[in-house]
């Protein structure tokens, strides 16, 4: 009897009630390693994508044994990114933001067993769980000058499908990332900072489910050590913090797409799994 009731309820649209938790599509850490579940064939109303407008994620790249690029004889990338992240955290906190950092010391956070390094997927998982209004992946380089901003190279998707692959989770957020890039670029230009803005494929930006940018700090002169100039970093951090204050009122999460309905598969799945349904 139960199978018949379930099939009838689905066919008549009674199944369009509150979505089940198992249909939450947001990719979290290492989801790509788990076997992919076939998209459910229930055409329920998708829940809106959650976003915390007062949360900003900062990811100071590298750390620990991974020093990143060597900017000069005395400067390595991991120290510059952490220094800039601390300045940003102070300014953002003063503006009422809650700041989530993937690391706040040289040694990356160890979410799992002791001694396990923080992988790029771990960083993406921390970001996705926070549902921030913006994710900034902080990098530094000795080449070029000013600031380099990059959004994901993924083609923009119209919305977030029910089962987005881990390595392309950012696709639905690319339009928002481009708008965030434009806002930060305008703010940095007003502050007189040399700017390069483009797209790049830098992990783990493609796995983030938030407006995400790769932010690369470069020296402001010929001397690579000028990247450590506290006033220079403070001026950049100030511009970003001011831009993010406006951004938190403008960010709009992408729509969550319905699952594709496959009539032939729908019937088969429902008939074979009736006991699991309420």
List residues near another protein by CB under 8 A.
62, 66, 68-70, 77, 139-145, 148-150, 153-155, 157, 161, 164, 167-168, 171, 181-183, 185-186, 195-198, 200-203, 206, 214, 216, 218, 260
Q: How far is the CB of 21 from another protein (least distance, A)?
A: 22
Q: What is the DSSP string of 109-156?
A: P--SSTT----HHHHHHHHHHH-EEEEEEEEE-SSSSSEEEEEE-SPP
CA angle 201, 207, 211 (to 5 degrees): 85
Q: How far is the CB of 61 from another protein (least distance, A)?
A: 8
207's tokens: 């796995």
Residue whose CB is less far from another protein, 13 or 38? 38
Cα distance between residue 207 and residue 211, in whole Å: 11
Bridging pattern class, strands 132-140 and 212-217: parallel
Residue whose CB is less far from another protein, 259 or 270? 259
**Helix H or strand E segment including 212:** strand 212-217
Secondary structure class of 104 (helix, strand, coil)? coil
Q: How far is the CB of 71 from another protein (least distance, A)?
A: 9
Residue whose CB is less far from another protein, 130 or 213? 213
Cα distance between residue 133 and residue 252, in whole Å: 9
Cα distance between residue 70 and residue 77, in whole Å: 6
Residue 74, classified by CB atoms within 10 Å of its CB into exposed (0-12), middle (13-18) or buried (19+), is exposed
Q: Contact at 8 Å (CB) between 265 and 58?
A: no
Residue whose CB is less far from another protein, 29 or 148? 148
Q: How far is the CB of 68 from another protein (least distance, A)?
A: 6
Q: Contact at 8 Å (CB) between 51 and 172?
A: no
Q: How far is the CB of 154 from another protein (least distance, A)?
A: 5
Residue whose CB is less far from another protein, 91 or 243? 243
Residue whose CB is less far from another protein, 125 or 161? 161
Q: How far is the CB of 75 from another protein (least distance, A)?
A: 13
Residue whose CB is less far from another protein, 159 or 274? 159
Q: How far is the CB of 185 from another protein (least distance, A)?
A: 5
Nearest CA to 218 among 151, 153, 152, 149?
Answer: 149
């Amino acid at each position: 009897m139960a199978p018949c009731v379930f099939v009838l309820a689905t066919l008549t649209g009674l199944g369009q009630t509150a979505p089940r938790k198992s249909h939450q599509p947001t990719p979290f850490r290492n989801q790509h390693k788990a076997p992919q579940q076939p998209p459910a064939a229930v055409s329920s109303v998708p829940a809106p994508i959650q976003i915390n407008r007062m949360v900003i994620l900062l990811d100071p790249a590298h750390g620990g044994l991974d020093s990143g690029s060597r900017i000069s004889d005395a400067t390595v990338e991991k120290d510059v990114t952490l220094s800039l992240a601390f300045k940003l955290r102070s300014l953002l906190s003063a503006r009422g933001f809650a700041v989530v950092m993937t690391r706040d010391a040289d040694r990356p956070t160890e979410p799992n067993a002791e001694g396990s390094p923080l992988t790029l997927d771990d960083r993406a998982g921390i970001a996705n769980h926070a549902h921030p209004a913006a994710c900034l992946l902080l990098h530094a380089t000795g080449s070029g000058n000013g600031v380099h901003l990059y959004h994901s190279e993924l083609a923009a998707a119209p919305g977030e499908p029910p089962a987005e692959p881990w390595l392309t989770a950012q696709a639905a957020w690319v339009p928002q990332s481009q708008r965030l890039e434009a806002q930060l670029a305008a703010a940095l230009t007003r502050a007189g900072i040399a700017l390069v803005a483009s797209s790049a494929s830098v992990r783990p930006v493609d796995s983030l489910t938030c407006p995400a940018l790769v932010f690369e700090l470069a020296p402001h002169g010929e001397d690579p050590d000028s990247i450590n100039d506290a006033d220079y970093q403070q001026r950049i951090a100030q511009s970003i913090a001011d831009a993010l204050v406006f951004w938190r009122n403008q960010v709009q999460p992408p729509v969550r797409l319905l699952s594709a309905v496959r009539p032939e598969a729908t019937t088969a799945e429902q008939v074979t799994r009736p006991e699991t349904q309420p």
